[in-house]
Amino acid sequence: MPVFTVTGDVDPFLHVSLRKGESIYCESDAMVMMEDALDLAGKMQGGILQAVMRRFTNGESFFQQHITATRGDGDCLLSPRLPGGLEVLDVGNVQYCISDDAYVAATDGVQVVAQSQGIGNALFGGTGGFFIGRSSGTGKLVVSGFGSIFTLDVTPEKGMTIDNGHVVAWDANLRYEISTSTSQNKGLLGNLVNSVTSGEGLVLKFSGRGRVVVCSRNRGTFISWLNSQMGSKS
């Protein structure tokens, strides 16, 4: 199996070592460097329907980069879209849901598919509308966050409330709901007022048992700023 190694402390690279015949998928434009033994091609993972759904789910490109060690062992360097940390996740017994723009790369046995979510979460969440990204298969999955990366453990005895803009990925077995604030029994209007006055936005309330990957900076704020800059240049 390809070996993923996070290299560097600030805005790290993802260093990937592949043996002959092995391959990985990564987000479009993620490749920074690859050795001569490797080949790069654009592929539509999971067919046209999944490609379209991933495009609207996680902001991924229609075609992903597919890197294969065709002429021998070789290494490559990848870089995420967002400036910040990287987390390598083991996928198989545990699958993960993925926030917008968090996907970086995966081994060949892992796919990121679109999964529908409830209308309440779709209307109030910034996690991909009516669909969110969800891993399937077995192997390694790499996600990125804006700023530093930290992993939290949710247990039945210790649920957690996390600002929506700081959530990168979470165990698919966890239950979650989106709220407008951390306050209880205020009603929708009261929660909206509390969110504005407290400076907090939408939050995700997790329960059950599993891991949540978070980042230190608000991803939504950065992505909005990045999109506005790109729009002003067009």
- Tens-digit pLDDT profile for residues 128-143: 445 678 899 999 999 9
Range 34-73 burial, b when 16+ CB lie within 10 A, else e:
beebbeeeeeebbeeebbebbeebbbbeeebbbbbbeeee
Whether the CB-CB separation of 87 and 151 falls below 8 Å is answered with yes
Residue 148 predicted with pLDDT over 80 = yes
Please report which helix (H) or strand (E) contains residue 233, including its range.
helix 219-233
- Tell me the C-alpha distance between 190 and 202, whole Å: 14
Say how far apart CA 86 and CA 80 lie, in whole Å.
8
pTM: 0.80
Written as one letter, the residue type at 143 is V
Average pLDDT over residues 112-127: 57
Residue-wise burial string across 175-198, b where 16 or more C-beta atoms lie within 10 A, e elsewhere: ebebbbbeeeeeeeeebeeebeee
Average pLDDT for residues 61-82, to the nearest whole number?
Answer: 89
- Is residue 66's pLDDT more than 70? yes
Show the DSSP H helices in 88-218 as ranges: 119-124, 187-198
pLDDT of residue 41: 93
Higher pLDDT, 91 or 234: 91
- Where are the extended beta strands (E) located within 13-159? 13-18, 23-26, 31-34, 38-43, 64-69, 74-78, 86-91, 96-98, 103-107, 110-116, 131-137, 139-144, 149-154
Domains detected in the chain: 3-224 (3.60.160.10)
For range 85-101, the mean pLDDT: 93
Q: What is the pLDDT of residues 12-57, one digit of tens each?
A: 999 999 999 999 999 888 999 999 999 999 876 655 555 555 555 5
For range 168-187, the mean pLDDT: 76
Give 126's pLDDT tier (boundaries 50, 70, 90): very low
Mean pLDDT of the chain: 80
| 232 or 15: which leads in pLDDT | 15
